[in-house]
Structure 1
Amino acid sequence: MAMPLIRTFRDCATYSKTFAPYLPQLTAFPRDILASIPNLGALQQVYTSTNPIISGLAFSIALFPVFFGMSEVTGNYSQVDRVWGVLPTLYHIHYALWARLAGVPTQKVNAVLLFSLCWTTRLTFNYWRRGGYQAGSEDYRWKLIRDRIGRPAFLALNVVFTSSLQSVLLWSVTNPTYILLLTSRLSPALTPVDMAFTGMLLSLVGMTWLADQQQWDYHAAKHSYQETARVPSGWTRAQMERGFNTTGLWRYSRHPNFASEQSIWLTLYAWGCYSSGTLYNWTGFGVLSYLLIFAGSTPITEGTSSGKYPQYKVYQERVGRFIPKLFGKGWDEAEMEKRGNEVVAEAEGKGSGGKKQKAG
């Protein structure tokens, strides 16, 4: 039996009823697939008779040797990063396809798939625009980590996380969609609340588009300024020489794109909780792991920026990392344009003075 027997909405979010009983299928599924390859009808039967969350997990695990092998052969450890914006949508396509073949209502899953396709389009476009698919391109953060911990430790990291757990992570953030699939059997139609969640997800995708475009516009203007020494229209010389963007959404959040990205998966999780009538459930482990990835990687990015740009430390003090600061002095563009270097010197002086006083 591919799907659990559920009688209430809360049953849809119960780990012991909806996930644990199907774990044995994890080992049987690859074997059955290989045995059925010559026969399309048999393949479909294996596919629909396997719980969809388990077959999704099996696929994420099957990618381990692919990512590891490619990273070790090419020396490029950004293999998972390259498909970061694609894999979650593949899992959503999988849920939508499975539901159709199994005769399960698809309205809610279709709504998730709509937002997910928009999300993938945005990430894929930005990755391509930055030249991410060029041969040899690698996320600089992996290079920094490799340099810090050394090759042997980094090999271990690649085995247990970079090429493995990251793949499972991208499956796990889509787990709330499985709950939505289950609740569809009890309530097939999209409710106004379901449509509101869909609208929120699409709005957050739009916010990531806006933040990325503002960042792209700034760096395009900065590149032009560096080549011609002429300040592009709509910008000031101080903004160009500062080296990092402080306009638009970036005036209120140091990483508005990351904030929107995390909010997307929190919203999907909240949707699953609402549909199942639970305040929290086991699918939260996926989104929590996703948030921890950002919590761990963002300081590496900021460490590089603070080392390159003198005013970045002031920016860190006045602007929230993800969420805008509600108290204290925010970013003042006019002030920083008049006395940017002076403000930086004051901040650095306070920092060094505080350390001396503490040490004494």
Structure 2
Amino acid sequence: MIGLGALVAITAGVTLVAGAATFGVARLRGRYDTVDTFWGLGFVIIAVVAFPFGSGPLSLRLVTAGLTAVWGVRLAVHLHLRNHGKPEDPRYARMVAAAGDRAAARMFVRVYLFQAVVLWFVSLPVQFAMYGGGLGLLGWIGVAVWLIGFAFETVGDDQLRRFKADPDSRGKVLDTGLWRYTRHPNYFGDACVWWGLYLLACSTWPGAATILSPVVMTFTLARGTGKPMLEKGMHLSRPGYAHYVERTSGFFPLPPKRLTPR
């Protein structure tokens, strides 16, 4: 058993090594979208590393590590299958083309190293929860929030997968199921997952102080590289997307607006 300060230093080192190793795999594969799979698995690695060192109750550590692992493995498998057999992600392809001869170094710093740092910072509630005082009321509320988020993310991803697999959906906009109430049920669910894990860390004041971690995750999804970048491409490829945006909530699930005919 080690102190919390030593743990966060260890996980920082492990995360950087894992990120560098993933970059090596990406170079061998010739595909920089390998980092997408690393995103989910990186959190699993941190949870597994942190679990045996924590001084908190075994029940809290098991719940925290288990929920993190279930979410991370599902996301990693989903993203790997989504990318498999398709060309390189256009985002990374554009970055490589713009960087020219310095593409490898720029991708390592701007994508892999940066993502490793963000991953470690977002995972702080998971690490601090390993030193928590117990589940308690906030912890069980956190589990409930996690379950809501995981359901939104999993069901939303599956609805989108089936929609894309239907040839009749070409050029159309998915506006049924969870997508009727929010344009990004998977991103909303992702944010809920991390607010739930944060609540598991709130049995101690140091754990509660990690609130910036779920804030950063939520901001990234809603205002950073998540929702805005995706919607920019959708406006160009889906003619009906603008009307969908007008009537559908951008992030939090809400009943669709009734628009008056023009």
The bucket for the TM-score relative to the shorter chain is 0.7 to 0.9
AA at the equivalent of 1:289? V
Q: Cα distance 1:110–1:174, how it changes in 2: closer, same or farther (>3 A)?
A: same
Give 1:94 deviation, angstroms.
Answer: 1.6
AA at the equivalent of 1:2? I
Give 1:271 deviation, angstroms.
Answer: 3.4
Residue 53 (str. 1) matches residue 36 (str. 2): no
8 A Cα contact 2:60 2:130, kept in partner: yes
3-state SS of the aligned residue for 2:9?
helix
Which of 287, 300, 324 aligns to 2:229? It is: 300
Distance 2:151 2:64 in 1: 15
Q: Identity over aligned residues, as a percent?
A: 21
Aligned residue in 2 for 1:199: 144
Give 1:175 deviation, angstroms.
Answer: 0.9
Q: Cα distance 1:67–1:178, how it changes in 2: closer, same or farther (>3 A)?
A: closer
8 A Cα contact 1:262 1:290, kept in partner: yes
Q: Cα distance 1:264–1:157, how it changes in 2: closer, same or farther (>3 A)?
A: farther
3-state SS of the aligned residue for 2:203?
helix
Distance 1:179 1:254 in 2: 33
Give 1:82 deviation, angstroms.
Answer: 1.6
AA at the equivalent of 2:252? I
AA at the equivalent of 1:253? T
Residue 120 (str. 1) matches residue 47 (str. 2): no
Q: Cα distance 1:142–1:160, how it changes in 2: closer, same or farther (>3 A)?
A: same
Q: Which digits, 9 at most, give the CA deviation of each residue in 1:33-83, with x for residues without a partner? A: xxxxxxxxxxxxxxxxxx222211111112343234444454422222122
Where do residues 1-360 of structure 1 align in structure 2 (5 Å cutoff)? Answer: 2-3=2-3, 19=5, 51-99=6-54, 105-130=57-82, 132-134=83-85, 137-147=87-97, 149-151=98-100, 155=104, 157-183=106-132, 187=133, 189-221=134-166, 223=167, 225=168, 240=169, 243-272=172-201, 274-277=202-205, 281=209, 283-294=210-221, 295-297=223-225, 298-324=227-253, 330=257
8 A Cα contact 1:82 1:133, kept in partner: no
8 A Cα contact 2:23 2:108, kept in partner: yes
Could you list the runs of 5+ residues in structure 1 that have no partner in the other structure? Answer: 4-17, 20-50, 226-239, 336-342, 347-360
8 A Cα contact 1:89 1:120, kept in partner: yes
Distance 1:300 1:154 in 2: 21
Distance 1:73 1:241 in 2: 34
AA at the equivalent of 1:178? Q
> When the two structures are aligned, how many residues end up with a matched partner?
260
Could you list the runs of 5+ residues in structure 2 that have no partner in the other structure? Answer: none
Distance 2:28 2:185 in 1: 35
Give the aligned CA root-mean-square deviation in angstroms.
Answer: 3.0
Q: Cα distance 1:293–1:78, how it changes in 2: closer, same or farther (>3 A)?
A: farther
What's the TM-score, normalizing by structure 1? 0.63
8 A Cα contact 1:315 1:331, kept in partner: no
8 A Cα contact 1:251 1:331, kept in partner: no
AA at the equivalent of 2:38? V
Task: Report which stretch shifted further, 87-96 or 118-127.
Answer: 118-127
3-state SS of the aligned residue for 1:84?
helix
What's the TM-score, normalizing by structure 2? 0.83
8 A Cα contact 1:115 1:202, kept in partner: no
Q: Cα distance 1:301–1:154, how it changes in 2: closer, same or farther (>3 A)?
A: farther
Give 1:216 deviation, angstroms.
Answer: 1.9
